[in-house]
Amino acid sequence: MKEIQIGLIGAGTVGGGVVKLLDQKGSYFRDNLGIPLRLARIADKAANRFTELPVGNAVCTDNASDIINDPDIDIVIELVGGTTFAKDLIIAALSKGKHVITANKALIAEYGPTIFELAEKSGVSVLFEASVGGGMPVIKTIRESLVGNDITSVKTIINGTCNYILTQMSDKGLLFDTALKKAQKSGYAEADPTLDIGGGDSGHKVAIMASLIYGGYVPLTKIYIEGISNISKEDIESARQLQCTIRLLGIIRKAPGEDCVDVRVHPTMIHKNHILASVRDVFNAVLLEGSAVGPTLLYGRGAGELPTASSVVSDIIDIARNITAGVPRRIPMNYYRLSNELKIKPIADIVSRYYLCFWVSDKPKVLASIATILGNYSISISSVLQQESTEESCVPVIMLTHKAVEKNVQEALAEIETMDFVKKKTHLIRIAGRTY
């Protein structure tokens, strides 16, 4: 049987993991699954990476074009990252009729339609299981296992850095900055953590999921994204008192009959009995609500060398099974097209319950003033919580609302913040609904 030849571009963390897994499992794939793979070429600018990896007899180069231009290569694995060089590579590989595997969430989120259209034309597959949720089979579950369902909602913890920081703040009472430094020290956060803690990374992944689920392109700029850097000690403590915990959630919802999709990323209060509350530290989870299956959760490591490599390898085997069976691909690549841009629900239109933490002077009638303004905007309060103050000049007053329209809440807050008893910016955290 003809060997299936693989070219790997990028031998960093994930690429190194792929080299290791192919080395470990290569004989199992050949002897037990009947799939003979050969890691034929590896390209990386840093030559020292080759010496640290079990590259076998792969030809190592610093020139990615060697892989693209090798007519014997069947599958190109792009693990370079970024949306410029990586995009050119993938387009070149597809143009040459090669299958492509990538873990590049930014690229798929931004240029998915272009890439998939080219793959469709070239009669090859682009697989990207590793782009969402590391080792968890998120893409396969959405595209294959839940194919008989309308997926009505997704709630997901999809960034391990943020989840680690929030868990540390909650368990150890750390402030955000301290927890971030600890995450960096443990290798769970980058030196520049902006993309993680700002929610952008979660946004990429949520955009990919929403695109696959609803078969349309989700422009990143239309998604409401809020990170975790404003979460305070008081927010964490209030959550605890309310039997809740704070997680950075990606949310995707489509109400029956509505023409727009609610896609957003923001810190969210969830009840401690909610299944997502048990997702701790760097773990990720995706809770999909299907019309037939009901709630289904995937949980696991969402990043890291071997978990992510595990998904790349599952994509390799998927493509190799097609090649071995003599078919270019089984699942069409027309997941979503630029022309089919999904209508995204503006954040102003969502309906949610809210946690509000006002920082006010400790004077009479303040509570009544706030409640009156909220009432003017049809926002009704479900409970009020008093907290010990850590500041001298002001105290936190915490209110939970019943369901309200975000626009009303934002307008009410804007009005409340003009009052002279308000001493600091109000914290707003949305509260998740149902528990599973």
What positions carry a catalytic annotation?
Answer: 205
In terms of CB distance, is 103 or 136 closer to a second copy? 136
Closest approach of Cβ 36 to a second copy, in Å?
A: 14
Residue owning tokens 């919580």: 385
In terms of CB distance, is 223 or 279 closer to a second copy? 279
What is the rounded CA–CA span in Å between residue 312 and residue 306?
10
In terms of CB distance, is 140 or 254 closer to a second copy? 140
In terms of CB distance, is 148 or 364 closer to a second copy? 148
Closest approach of Cβ 367 to a second copy, in Å?
A: 36
Other CB atoms within 10 A of residue 354 CB: 23
In terms of CB distance, is 272 or 403 closer to a second copy? 272
The residues that touch a second copy, with contacts defined as CB under 8 A, are: 17, 21, 24-25, 29, 32-34, 129, 134-137, 140-141, 144-149, 215, 273, 275, 277-280, 283, 285, 290-301, 306-307, 309-311, 313-314, 317-318, 321-322, 324-327, 329-332, 436
Closest approach of Cβ 70 to a second copy, in Å?
A: 24
- The answer to whether residues 255 and 214 touch, using CB atoms and an 8 Å cutoff, is no
Closest to 394 in 3D by CA, of 418, 366, 355, 368: 366
Closest approach of Cβ 410 to a second copy, in Å?
A: 34
What is the rounded CA–CA span in Å between residue 12 and residue 6?
17
What is the rounded CA–CA span in Å between residue 53 and residue 360?
59
Task: Determine the angle formed by the axes of helices 176-185 and 160-172, rounding to 10 degrees.
Answer: 120
Closest to 115 in 3D by CA, of 145, 140, 141, 83: 83
What is the rounded CA–CA span in Å between residue 328 and residue 143?
18
- Kindly report the CA angle at 354 between 287 and 171, in degrees rounded to 5? 65
Closest approach of Cβ 140 to a second copy, in Å?
A: 6
